[in-house]
Structure 1
Amino acid sequence: MRFYINKAHLINNIDYPTRYQSENLLKSAGIVFAIILIFLLLFKPFGVYDPELRMHYFFICFLHALSPALILLVYFGGLNYIRKRKYQSENWTLFEEYLQIGVILLLAGLSSFFMRDLIYNNTNNWSWHYLWEEIRNCFVAGIFFYFFLRLSSFYFESKKGSPFVLQFIQLNIKSKTTDAASKLYVNTQVKQDNFSLDIDQLLFVKADGNYIELTKTNGNQITTEVKRISLTQFEAQITDYPNFFRCHRTYLVNMFKVEKVSGNSQGYLLSFHETTIKVPVSRKQIESFNNYYQQLRNKYIA
């Protein structure tokens, strides 16, 4: 049977993982150090010949745990600096991630090899045999730890409703699939300020005191109109359109127009195809947003 690799999944852009970002890198390195140290102390995964040891086994485990943690810290610290100066972008792919992890495991294997004289009293420490053994052991253990940490991260992020776990698929549905017409006449407190609106063109609404800003799209042309009506009053008049969601105190978004979700448990950012403007989802609204999105998806796609 032919082995299949989903190449598109590997090369599609994803958001740069928070675990590698500078502000979280020390924490990630600390987690790697702690997990490896505990694992080595509890299980002794690779054969150890006690008469060859130059120091207590605890200190050997400490060094083997510290080495990859420091390499992770320094390597991604340097990578973040280069990316910030050269690319000015947070885009990332799974292929890049696997490649960088492979380089780190190789460096960790080389580090373990160079530490052999410090740890073991063996005349063959500098042999090709032990070079291959240290690199092989790092890849075997490293791949296990990497996927263990990724699964753990997936679990905890899913508990928080992270958009990196939420499989967001653009709804991309027009209002003709709903029970309401696309043309809407909006009543304001002042009759001469009443206006009509093509609801299909509306991306999002932003509150500005007793006014609202309507951001609309007509093809690739983005327009913004200011109307004298509060966001709460406007929201009360579009209840026939279930695709609009109050994602923030000052924002109302057309769920059918959202192309991408990014962010973390502190809040989401919603992106659109037609504009670079991002609409926030407040921390309090994350769970409601996730549930509302699933309801729309089940109703109009399933």
Structure 2
Amino acid sequence: MIYKSPIGKYLKCVIPTIVSTGETLTYALLLGLSSYLFLIVFQPFGTYNFDSAYKFWLLSGYGIIFALAYTSVSILLYKKQWTIGVELLRISLVYLLASFLNFFYHSYMINHGLLLWSNLPYIGLYTLSLYVPIGSIYFLLRIDRHRRQETKNLMPVEEVCLVPQHEFKEIDNSYLNVINIPNGNQTFTLLRSDFIFAKSMDNYCMIYHRKGDTVKKQIVRITLVRLDQLLNTTTVVRCHRSYLVNLEKIIKKEGNTQGLLLHFAETEDCALVSRSAVGTVGSYLLQARL
């Protein structure tokens, strides 16, 4: 009972959701390819002694099975809110499905139709020897994917455990400098004057803001459109489908009308400007002589 609450809280932590078919297929391809490369390089469980003119072609079947198992389970478990617990469930189901598929593949393609159920535990261990290192790396990359992408060569991020957004009653504070941004069952308070820019990440935003003399980053479960509505100020504009910027915080621009990058003080992260927004942003930068 001592560890039940912390573990349950950890398993309910929200992680970035795989929302596109392309991203799912990319992960499936990488998983299958990694399994195949692991097989031909290390050749575990007697694979080294397997003699066949089509050895490497036959071994590729195990990689294909991993890719199919991952894709199938991902479709089965598709849901808008993805947690660490759901991710662990997906990994476990992929292993079980891959083990059964490998068993039939091994029986019909390697043993030429000899179906021996006594070989199932052996195939399970064979599959486990492939899946443990690859699945562990995949899990760690999925958990840390957002943090690695957002904090490379940057200052540490304020880490938060995100929970689903609940309904709340809003108070009109458009005339105030302080805005209250819903963040799960909590509220993230921000001064409009401290807002620098925000980057969209599906149903989340990475908000860059000043806190004292430093620039901080905060992950908040809110869409970029909703954040723009809450900020509700003429100096904050949508310069790209994935970026919302405070024009007053820009210190330098880079590029031309075909593509602009906006730079801000005390952070190496930049904001992109789409072609459709170049005119709006460019006119302000011209007036500001940036």
Give the TM-score taking structure 2 as reference length.
0.54
Aligned counterparts, 1:1-302, within 5 A: 6-18=6-18, 21-48=20-47, 50=49, 56-80=54-78, 83=79, 90-121=80-111, 125-128=115-118, 130-151=119-140, 158=147, 160-161=149-150, 167-169=157-159, 221-225=171-175, 244-247=194-197, 260-261=219-220, 280-281=243-244
Structure 1 residue 143, shift from structure 2 partner: 2.5
Residues 1:225 and 1:4: Cα distance change in structure 2 (over 3 Å): closer
**Structure 2: runs of 5 or more not aligned:** 161-168, 178-190, 200-206, 233-237, 246-260, 270-290
One-letter code aligned to 1:103: L
Residues 1:223 and 1:71: Cα distance change in structure 2 (over 3 Å): same
Contact 1:260 1:271 in 2 (8 A): no
Root-mean-square deviation (CA, aligned residues, Å) is 4.8
Residues 1:156 and 1:49: Cα distance change in structure 2 (over 3 Å): closer
Q: Distance in 2 between matches of 1:222 and 1:270?
A: 17
Structure 1 residue 141, shift from structure 2 partner: 2.5
Q: How big is each residue's C-alpha offset from its partner over 1:94-124, in whole Å with a ceiling of 9 and x where there is no partner?
A: 1111112101100000001111222333786
Q: Distance in 1 between matches of 2:13 and 2:225?
A: 16
Aligned residues: 208
Give the TM-score taking structure 1 as reference length.
0.52
Contact 1:261 1:270 in 2 (8 A): no
Q: Distance in 2 between matches of 1:151 and 1:284?
A: 32
Determine what percentage of the aligned residue pairs are the same residue: 15
**Structure 1: runs of 5 or more not aligned:** 84-89, 171-218, 228-240, 292-302
Q: Distance in 1 between matches of 2:135 and 2:265?
A: 29
Q: How big is each residue's C-alpha offset from its partner over 1:176-198, in whole Å with a ceiling of 9 and x where there is no partner?
A: xxxxxxxxxxxxxxxxxxxxxxx
Q: How big is each residue's C-alpha offset from its partner over 1:5-59, in whole Å with a ceiling of 9 and x where there is no partner?
A: 74144332314433x64231111111112211111111102213857x6762202
Structure whose alpha-carbon radius of gyration is higher: 1
Give the match for residue 178 of structure 1.
none
Residues 1:220 and 1:3: Cα distance change in structure 2 (over 3 Å): closer
